[in-house]
Amino acid sequence: MEYFPITVRLQDQQCIIVGGGEIAHRKLKSLLKAKAKVSLIALHFSPDVRALVEQYQLPLYQQAFNETLTEQLLDEAYLVIAATDNRELNQQVSVAARKRKVWVNVVDDLDLSTFIMPAIIDRSPLLVAISTGGVSPVLARKIREKIEWLLPTNLGQLLTRLKAYRPRIKKKFPNLKSKRDFSEWYIEQAIADPTVFKSGFDENLKTYKAINAGNQKGKVYLVGAGPGDAELLTVKALKVLQTADVVLHDALVSEQILEQVRRDATLVHVGKRAQYHSVTQDETNRLLVQYAKQGLLVVRLKGGDPFIFGRGGEELEVLVNAGIDYEVVPGITAASGCASYAGIPLTHRDYAQTVMFITAHCANSIDKLNWQSLAREKQTVAIYMGLLRNETLVSNLMEHGRDGATPIAIIENGTLPEQRVVRGTLQQLPILVEQHQIVSPALIVIGEVTVLADRLGWYQHSTLLGSQTEVNQNGEALVLRKVS
């Protein structure tokens, strides 16, 4: 983060603008809106600037900027803005301000500035600032325009009411959670129905208590985080993450997604990976019940979809037995998300009419699989957590009739910027894993549809690695080399 975002109280602070044209006029309006005390220095002032100077009775210095002549003014300044089109003059202003450790902004010149001014959405006292780090003020304004229409117009009125209610909320509610629950309820009501403002605090409190009477039990949301890309979260998943008190998350949930969790929520890592079980399933179940019984809103956040190899059903059974309320928020499962980002349609009229999802993670899963069914041609098999048992997968599929030349793809870190897709054939799978040093998380896709990755791969961050192998008469891979 190159610039740290803060909001500064400028009321009655001494500020200087060097310049008197259109840009100076824009900056002057912003500072006056913040109730700053502004002085202006320039040889010439536009009629618009002079009108504001006269209206607000501002000090005007019609002279060339000179550090010696304006020394006292600079010494007392809180911040300085250089709003001229003369870089040499702007540099003089910047040097003079920096010497005094005064904040300085030189319009359209990051090198000479110690702070930048963001695009602002003003719903006073609510302010939303959008900054591009000074790189593109035009983009910042465009983003502001897009956000502007999304925000209700009554947010300023809502904040004013919340400010007035704050002492009474602190008095009526004994702990942080109860304060937050009431505030969130009131905000939701006020945004949905502005007539709420017509009621006083006591009436609002009475309505809240009536709605929530006997409803202090905790609740668990079983949420699918998708395959990794935070933009693949559902709208409901994002909403739940931003209201949760506690989030129990898996190891495969990406940092991008964890950043969407409310800042003051408690994050609990309960992740499990092959050979690295940090938290047992029993302990995870116990924590879910424990937190819910404390009256908290708990999110069990799982990579992919919680009902596809996510043990979501087992965890819900525990909640049912404990009498805990719950909801399920589905997510995009890894097979669908990763294959899509790799340009591999899991079904295709010319290649596969059937798709099967299997996991090779559980100790006995390999023995329980219907290999004859899995080995059928013209179908896609998506294998979760299969890296450690790739040789067993290959031998069983080929033993039951799947051709060793069947195309395959290994998708590592699917949907993330570091995504890699390795293409080859079924009999090459073990050597591909070793040659390219594939690591978890990785999805193995077996079937004719995988050849389409060569033409349909669209994800700009993806690295596609093909292979070409010489095979001896026993079907053993002898040589492997990249071809793309």
- Distance from C-alpha of 413 to C-alpha of 439, rounded to nearest angstrom: 9
Looking at the DSSP bridge assignments, the partners of residue 29 are none
- Distance from C-alpha of 140 to C-alpha of 245, rounded to nearest angstrom: 33
State the amino acid at position 140 in one-letter form. Answer: A
Looking at the DSSP bridge assignments, the partners of residue 384 are 359, 443
Check if 142 is active-site.
no
How many other CB atoms are there within 10 angstroms of residue 181's CB atom?
A: 19
Check if 12 is active-site.
no
**Looking at 245, 250, 302, 305, which residue is catalytic?**
250
* 323: its two tokens: 């009498």
Sheet containing strand 266-269, strands side by side:
266-269, 246-249, 297-302, 219-224, 325-329
| 8-state DSSP, 58 | -
- Distance from C-alpha of 273 to C-alpha of 388, rounded to nearest angstrom: 12
Tell me if 252 sits within 8 A of 441, measured CB to CB: yes
**Looking at 142, 219, 272, 293, which residue is catalytic?**
272
**407-412 and 14-18 strand pairing:** unpaired
List strand residue ranges (DSSP E) for 3-74, in order.
14-18, 37-42, 60-62
* 14: its two tokens: 């001494």
Residue 203 burial by CB count (10 A; 0-12/13-18/19+): exposed, middle or buried?
exposed
Identify the H or E element spanning 162.
helix 155-172
Burial code of 93-117, b = ≥16 C-beta within 10 A, e = fewer? bbebbeeeebbbbbbeeeebbeebb
List strand residue ranges (DSSP E) for 243-312, in order.
246-249, 266-269, 272-273, 276-277, 297-302
Residues annotated as catalytic (active site), given as ranges: 250, 272
